């Protein structure tokens, strides 16, 4: 019976290519047996496809991005890094009414008219709900 050499596990690296800021997981030795390089845009696309981002408007006017389909740990990590920061309705309105944003519209007055109508509808819904809470 011949003795065979001890088996060695295959070493690998998985890298997300973001140019100079490449992220690698797995074996860190560049002489590893296998290196898989994945384009960062493909990773982002896969995460977004799985996440199903929902915009939630809370009764206090705060908007939250709620990524469904991701683990609580991933969501908590993203929130701690500011990737899923909450915002309020007034902040979004300020951005919408900025000259640069309005400059992107072919007909800014018409767009603002539609915006105003939608806001009025929303205020009517709030008023009707408040009457039922009395």
Q: Which of 10, 39, 46 is nearest to 23 (CA)?
A: 39
pLDDT at 27 over 70: no
Q: What is the mean pLDDT of the chain?
A: 79
Q: Does the pLDDT of residue 76 top 90, yes or no?
A: no
Q: How confident is the model at residue 35 (pLDDT cuts 50, 70, 90)?
A: low
pLDDT at 104 over 70: yes
Provide the pLDDT confidence category of residue 79 given band limits of 50, 70 and 90: confident
Q: How many Å apart are CA 74 and CA 78, to the nearest integer?
A: 6
Residue 24: what pLDDT? 59
Beta-carbon contacts of residue 79 (< 8 Å; ≥ 6 apart) = 85
Which residue did the predictor score with more confidence, 33 or 65?
A: 65
User: Distance (Å, rounded) from C-alpha 24 to C-alpha 28?
Assistant: 7
């Amino acid at each position: 019976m011949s003795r065979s050499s001890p088996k060695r596990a295959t070493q690998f690296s998985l890298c997300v290519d973001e140019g100079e800021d490449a992220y690698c997981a797995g074996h860190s030795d560049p002489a590893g047996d296998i290196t898989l390089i994945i384009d960062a845009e493909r990773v982002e696309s896969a995460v977004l496809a799985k996440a199903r981002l929902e915009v939630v408007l809370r009764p206090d006017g705060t908007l939250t991005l709620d990524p469904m389909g991701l683990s609580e740990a991933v969501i908590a990590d993203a929130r701690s890094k500011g990737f899923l920061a909450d915002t309020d309705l007034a902040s979004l309105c300020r951005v919408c009414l900025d000259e640069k944003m309005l400059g992107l519209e072919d007909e800014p007055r018409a767009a603002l008219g539609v915006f105003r109508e939608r806001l009025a509808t929303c205020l009517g819904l709030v008023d009707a709900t408040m009457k039922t809470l009395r």
